[in-house]
Amino acid sequence: MSAETVIPQTSHVERHGYLFGHPIAHSLSPLFHQTVYDGLGLKWSQFPLDSLDMDLFLKLRQDPNFYGASITMPHKLAIIPHLDGLTPEGADVGAVNTLFLREDPGTGKRQYIGTNTDVIGIRDSFYENVSNPDACFHERPGLVIGGGGAARSAVYALRRMMKASKIYLVNRDRREVKAVIDECTARGYGDGLIDVANVEQAQELAGPGAIVACVPNFTPRTEEEKEARRVMECLLAKEHKGAILEMCYHPSPWTEIAEISQRAGWKLILGTEAMIYQGLEQDKYWTGKQIHELPVKKVHEVIAAKLNEARL
């Protein structure tokens, strides 16, 4: 057991879950889920478990009052061998951000199941904020900026859920792009992925309809970073203007990419939207409620207020 880990006291609530990862001090997840549970009249809470200790988490999840967990970095892959099953999204993306419980119909034994609600967060961010998806992004190329886990989720959402005709990948590191293409291909949704490595290539391509930016907020400094930014700006400058989801929202969603996109005439969707919709999907698994039964409006208000605090 890690000496640094603070084990939350859970006895004052009827059921509890965890946000398991490191570092997680700035996460809005516990606030988000508390808003949902309070709105439903449930004496539940999600507690932050800031830890690298997988054995500790595996012990804590055996509590009879445990309902599930948000799994964040660096555990999204490491948790998989400790699960009894995966949903199709969890298996296809190859990373788990949500653990929920099922009961084995034969034995009645508790089963630990993993899924990936990040893909739902990305999908719903567009469909809840774009009034005419057919005109905006259906049957058009998609664009993913970045090469990490979020980029893989974005490729999955664009390919399987948002009718992207092909998907451009823009990133400073060609090896990361190759890894994304290889992994997505191996998992069955890698068709039509295009590594857009330079502006000359970007100039020849049709404009995208939906963009998902999956990189931290920073000013490009290396030549590779500058070229990736120029490629992005070239694609943003195309005649068709669609919608861009800027996944980065900490410490602020008002990023360089957000500003550049708005100046170029694109509809901006803040990353907190993806966080909200992936979180609502988690609560569907944990509470058994449907989206229309959850306090969606209140969640938006609470997260917006938290963002305004950060801007002051």
Where b means 16+ CB within 10 Å and e means fewer, 194-228 reads bebbeeeebeebebbbbbbbbbebeeeeeeebebb
Which one, of 145, 93, 139, lies nearest residue 115 by Cα? 93
Identify whether 76 is a catalytic site residue: yes
Residue 202 contacts residue 231 (beta carbons within 8 Å):
yes
**Strand ranges (E), 104-171:** 110-115, 142-145, 167-170
Do residues 146 and 301 touch, judged by C-beta distance below 8 A? no
Catalytic-labelled residue, pool 43, 59, 76, 178: 76
Provide CB contacts within 8 A for 75, sequence distance 6+.
Answer: 20, 21, 54, 57
C-beta atoms surrounding 175 within 10 Å: 9
Whether the ω angle into residue 253 lies within 30 degrees of 0, i.e. cis, is no
The three-class DSSP label of residue 23 is coil
Q: Which two tokens stand for residue 44?
A: 């539940």
Which class for 295: exposed (0-12), middle (13-18), buried (19 or more C-beta within 10 A)? middle
Which residues are marked as active site?
Answer: 76
